[in-house]
Amino acid sequence: MTLQIAQVNAVEILDSRACPTLAVTLTTNDGTRTRAGVPSGASTGSREAVELRDGDQSRYRGQGVLGAVGHVNDEIAQALAGHTFASAADVDRTLIELDGTDTKHRLGANALVGVSLAAWHLEAALAGTELWQHLAHSAGTEPRLPVPHFNVVNGGAHATNDLDFQEFMLAPLGAPSLAEAVRAGAEVYAQLRARLAAEGHATGLGDEGGFAPAIDRPEDVLQLLVDAITDAGYTPGRDGVAIALDPAASEFRQPDGLYRVAGQALSSDQLIDRYEAIIDRFPVWSIEDGLAEDDWPGWVRMTERLGDRVQIMGDDIFVTNPAIITEAISKKIANSALIKVNQIGTVTETLDAMRICREADYTQMVSHRSGETDDAFIADLVVGTGSGQIKSGAPARGERVAKYNRLIEITAAHPSLPYSLAAS
């Protein structure tokens, strides 16, 4: 099977934060048409592939993407339209060569991601298979439904409160099925809203649909979560509903190297002590970006000290980059990786990063970005690659639930698909 692309088209649309992003469509001669929406992060790793923004202050405060849109409609369209490709991976290779930079800053990672996602959609459509089945076939992986991680309290760069930790997630590890896990997430979310209101806290939302109360100590949020889990009739912990954290520590590390948490300045080791105390007291099973992306010695010590007890996951430090992940694995940093297609720029490179994690026995979680569209590619990606974990924000707000709902539809149509944390 080959991909014969007739038309390539991009337009500037809005993401969930009222910020411009791209929608890309690919069309074949016989009229098959696929579409992709491009996500965008706020707490980005410094080594991520580079999003192209116009910088024209007279439009969208400099955040416009007409330049990236133009690259898709001109240069990329010229390279793809009217040409035949052996596969979507072949399209990705062409995009990478055309851009020609290590960081994809010339054409823009946002331009490349949109075309790459649409190309993989197109290949699946032409093969007449579901996207997740097609991805499994290409990656040589066993499909599996993931455990969803619902971000129900937002802080850091995703909210205007004083909470330094960015994400507090519900992980219904004890749920027997994806549908039951979604139900647990939604029921605890509702109880949390009720409890926040009863205790006089605001119930306004942050960027990922979680609540953003004016609370600054992470331990106080964790206690609220444990109470809400109990209120909803679930057991806090790995047999019921556990908790995952993404402090996104690069965002609260100070120029002097200390971490500022709820008014205190902590060294790397003091912050690791704090995590240890948190794990002793609360049912936290996973910590993402517990330390800053450039604190590699701290990461080694954190993995040594806590790696047997919890999942230690790299996001900003790894940026879904196969070379960085390979180096970090050799240094025994973390035991898990967060996976985001737009951190590296193409689906092919993302699958490569995921393969490297599998081969090193690192667990992985596929992730949305804080700025999202209704695009649900990541739901198919996590199922097809059998990664076992996904985070897509709260069980609320359209752009977040688009992914969870896609998972529910996949499980409804394919009830025999296994559901569990990771390949075993």
Distance CA 54, CA 140 (A): 39
144: closest CA among 389, 392, 406? Answer: 389
- Which residue in 123, 187, 340, 399 is the catalytic one? 340
Taking CB atoms, the residue at the shortest distance from ligand 2PG is: 41
Give Cα separations from 373 to 26, 348, 400 (angstroms). Answer: 18, 21, 8
Instruction: Tell me whether residue 208 is one of the annotated catalytic residues.
Output: yes
Q: Which of residues 15-54 bind ligand 2PG (CB under 6 A)?
A: 41-44
Instruction: Tell me whether residue 332 is one of the annotated catalytic residues.
Output: no
- Which residue in 208, 288, 293, 349 is the catalytic one? 208
380 binds, among ligand 2PG, Mg ion, none (CB under 5 to 8 A by kind): none
Q: Kindly tell me which residue out of 367, 373, 389, 411 binds ligand 2PG, with binding defined by CB under 6 A.
A: 367
Strand partners, 242: 171
CB of 40 to ligand 2PG, least distance (A): 7
Distance CA 264, CA 258 (A): 9
Q: Which of residues 323-352 bind ligand 2PG (CB under 6 A)?
A: 338
Nearer to ligand 2PG, 92 or 288 (CB): 288
Question: How many residues bind to ligand 2PG according to rule CB under 6 A?
Answer: 14
By CB under 5 A, residue 246 contacts Mg ion = yes
By CB under 6 A, residue 161 contacts ligand 2PG = no
CB under 8 Å to 380, separation ≥6 — which residues?
A: 130, 131, 132, 135, 406, 410
By CB under 6 A, residue 286 contacts ligand 2PG = no
Query: Any idea what the Cα angle at residue 41 is, between residues 366 and 36, rounded to 5°?
Result: 65
Distance CA 215, CA 202 (A): 10
Nearer to Mg ion, 42 or 79 (CB): 42
By CB under 5 A, residue 315 contacts Mg ion = yes
145: closest CA among 383, 351, 338, 422? Answer: 383
Structure tokens at 332: 């025994």
Distance CA 234, CA 187 (A): 10
- The amino acid at residue 329 is I
Distance CA 380, CA 144 (A): 10
CB under 8 Å to 308, separation ≥6 — which residues?
A: none
367 binds, among ligand 2PG, Mg ion, none (CB under 5 to 8 A by kind): ligand 2PG
CB of 393 to ligand 2PG, least distance (A): 7
CB atoms within 10 A of CB 325: 26
Residue with tokens 């990672």: 109
By CB under 6 A, residue 110 contacts ligand 2PG = no
CB of 317 to ligand 2PG, least distance (A): 11
| Residues 181-210: x where in contact with ligand 2PG by CB under 6 A, - otherwise, as a string | ---------------------------x--
CB of 147 to ligand 2PG, least distance (A): 16
Nearer to ligand 2PG, 130 or 315 (CB): 315
- The stretches of 316-387 forming alpha helices (DSSP H) are 322-330, 341-344, 347-359, 377-385
Strand partners, 168: 153, 245
Judge whether 43 and 315 are in contact, CB under 8 Å.
no
By CB under 6 A, residue 315 contacts ligand 2PG = yes
By CB under 6 A, residue 246 contacts ligand 2PG = yes
CB of 194 to ligand 2PG, least distance (A): 25
Local structure of 171: helix, strand or coil: strand
Judge whether 354 and 364 are in contact, CB under 8 Å.
yes
| Residues 68-107: x where in contact with ligand 2PG by CB under 6 A, - otherwise, as a string | ----------------------------------------
CB of 201 to ligand 2PG, least distance (A): 22
By CB under 5 A, residue 54 contacts Mg ion = no
Which residues in this chain contact ligand 2PG in the complex, by CB under 6 A? 41-44, 157, 167, 208, 246, 248, 315, 338, 367, 369-370
Which residues in this chain contact Mg ion in the complex, by CB under 5 A? 246, 289, 315
Catalytic residue numbers read 208, 340
